[in-house]
Amino acid sequence: MTIYLASESPRRSMLLQKIGIDFEHIKPNAEEITETQLSPEEYVKTNAIKKARSVLSQIDDGIIIAADTVVVKDDEILGKPLDENDAIRMLSKLSGAIHDVYTAIVVLEKGTDRMEIEVEQTRVEMREISTKEIQKYVESGEPLDAAGAYKIQERGAKFIRWIEGCYYNVVGLPISTLVEMLKKFNINV
């Protein structure tokens, strides 16, 4: 059975390759919601489901994997920054503070419409980051393509004091959770 990754994230592709999953990449065609009255869990679940369902018409059969990740600080959902100023605002908010990262994973089987959904939460503490450090990091361009305006697996690692929970959740795809979900579809990794 063919596995499809409904994502534009190179990080998610890299993680699937890393654990030996053969898959085909398929670009989702879904408008992400921006409704911030939802809980973080419902927000990421809704977006991940929309991504998975948006590719159904592009395949004949198979398993679709989709995910959505956000950072949450003081009840504010921080997705990808809109621009450099938004990235500076997000990093300033996260500086010296604890925040949560939520990722929803959807595994959807075309044909049966069977769907499994899981949400992972990881706590992260950033050290104090100076205005100069934030500016330099934002100028690198790295934060503009990441929830919460940082990438823990790249240059953003230098800002992280500790994490509690799944590291790969912060990267954007909690691998152990995904492996357990795939077992429910008789796919062993």
Q: Which of 21, 69, 20 is nearest to 48 (CA)?
A: 69
Residue 56 φ then ψ, to 5°: -55, -40
Confidence band of 34 (pLDDT split at 50, 70, 90): confident
Instruction: Look up the CATH number of domain 3-183.
Output: 3.90.950.10
Enzyme catalytic residues? 68
List, for residues 105-150, the tens digit of each pLDDT value: 999 999 898 999 999 999 999 999 999 999 999 999 999 999 999 9
DSSP β-ladder status, 114-126 and 98-110: antiparallel
The domain spans of the chain are 3-183
Q: pTM of the prediction?
A: 0.95
Average pLDDT taken over every residue of the chain:
96
